[in-house]
A and B are shown apart, each in its own frame.
Chain A
Amino acid sequence: MTKTPDKINLAHSTVLLVDDQPTSLDLLSSIVQGFGVREQLKCHAAKDAVELLQRRAVDLILVDCAMPEMDGYDFVRWLRREAAEPARFTPVIMILGHAAHARVARGRDCGASYIVAKPLTPSVLLRRIAWLGAHSRDFVEVESYVGPDRRVRNYGPPPGEEGRRQTDLSGDLGEAVEANMDQDTIDMMLKPMKVNL
């Protein structure tokens, strides 16, 4: 794994912003503009975003979870299951306002790459974007879930980054704490043995 870089280059990227609240959309747009994004596209409804993604590709999507008609969760589920490739692999950051625990889990299970709860600071948002740009996650497709591997917690935060949870593991491999096993010992462990039951 590579360390999250100190610089960020969004000068070639197109970002899609989806939020039904015009003021929130303006604020999000201001943040993204500050990050140096080349092009931003705005949709006031998830249905408009669906239509847009059927016509053209984007590099990153920021979507609010709470919207009338089609909400953020349904939008991401559509993207992961029904959109054509490579659009369905597009990283998605879902933004939550009042984030009950169940909503965070719902966001993770619909296929969002990251869920960011408000208050939304540019620093937190940019860090998530930097992670998405620097680190790969497998894309998982099973009947009950389609999206980036949700077991990201098992890998811990990227090297050099501090996690936010007490249970976060480190992504770095430390020095060996004891001597390597010799080959005979390993062979013995793998060798089928007869047992008396």
Chain B
Amino acid sequence: MTDHLNVKSQKIALDKEGFLKSLQDWDEEVASQLAIQEGIKLGPAHWEVINLLREFYKRHQLSPATRALISLVKRELGKEKGRSVYLMKLFKGSPAKTASKIAGLPKPDNCL
């Protein structure tokens, strides 16, 4: 994992797990680059989860762990999407961790 991204000739600092060092650095282009690092090409299905996560973080100042992410998606986007298999297909590995990273949130505290 590199320690920075190059976006529009700007150097964006990353921590050793690939999360943004400064959350203010986030924009949609940065999100796309972060996703590419994870081998993901963002589409509308990703964006609705990313936007949901960013709203959630703005309101609660928490990066949700997987269980909470699933409940949140179920509540806001419906039962079909509020399932771990749906989120795992969109965001590889641990969906809470990967989605938080791309959405420019801190690493979920309770992601064990």
**Is the pairing of A and B real?**
no
Chain A interface residues (CB < 8 Å from chain B)? none
Query: B: which residues have CB within 8 A of A?
Result: none
